[in-house]
Amino acid sequence: MSSARIRIVARLVAVAALAAMTAGCFQPMYAEHTDGTPGLRERLMGVEVPPVDKANASREARVGVEIRNALAFKLYGNATGMAPTHRLVLRFNSGRSSLMIDPNTALPTSENYNIDAQFNLVEIATNKSVMTGTTFSRVSYDMPGSYQRFARARALRDAEDRAAQEIADNIQTRLASYFATGT
């Protein structure tokens, strides 16, 4: 056997040995624990998501409900969780900006919808903040024809819904990270 082949075989043996040593360390994030401690799914189900404080019947109130519903579904998998251990306080601001303007009509043809959100995870037993964070979403949308106001309204609503889903995804990921690692 040549020395080049011996080195290749030695490297493969070293890689296999390292893989075997670390194989027992891996644990899936959402796996159930056999030692009786609550798993990540149970910890996420203990997060209470109160309604977002926005003026009734406003556009932002609808977006707040959309974020809350998406987040509740991601945390609980259904409409209710378990007995709450933590409360998630959410605040956000939203806005629109025109990206492209039709030079003939001076109406926008493409816009951005944005949400900037701040969240605070409070432990209910001690009423102490255990994690805070911020997240954002930027969603672009096109208006099919400058004079089609109902199409413009629907395009904006779809953009709001997509941005709300993205905010809920980001917050759920941060909460899962916190409960999995404690940081």
- Residue 108 is part of a domain; what is its CATH number? 3.30.160.150
**What is d(CA 13, CA 17) in angstroms, rounded to the nearest whole number?**
6
Query: Has residue 181 got a pLDDT over 80?
Result: yes
Mean pLDDT of the chain: 86
Q: Mean per-residue pLDDT for 78-97?
A: 87
Phi, psi of 135 (to 5 degrees): -150, 165
Give the per-residue pLDDT at 10.
86
Give the per-residue pLDDT at 28.
65
pLDDT tens-digit map of 88-108: 999 999 999 888 877 887 777
Q: Give domain status of residue 13, yes or no.
A: no
- Work out the number of other CB atoms within 10 angstroms of the CB of residue 174: 17
Q: How confident is the model at residue 36 (pLDDT cuts 50, 70, 90)?
A: low
Q: Give domain status of residue 64, yes or no.
A: yes
Give the per-residue pLDDT at 42.
84
How many domains, in total, are found in the chain?
Answer: 1
**Dihedral of CA 69/70/75/77: which sign?**
positive
**What is d(CA 98, CA 75) in angstroms, rounded to the nearest whole number?**
34
> In the chain, pLDDT over 70 holds for what percent of residues?
86
- The boundaries of the domain holding residue 160 are 38-181
Phi, psi of 111 (to 5 degrees): -135, 165
Q: Give domain status of residue 174, yes or no.
A: yes
Q: Mean per-residue pLDDT for 149-175?
A: 93
Most confident of 55-69, 101-115, 135-149: 55-69
Q: Give domain status of residue 77, yes or no.
A: yes
Give the per-residue pLDDT at 77.
80
Q: Give domain status of residue 128, yes or no.
A: yes
Phi, psi of 132 (to 5 degrees): -130, 160
Nearest by Cα to 179 from 45, 71, 35:
45
Give the per-residue pLDDT at 81.
61
| pTM confidence score | 0.79
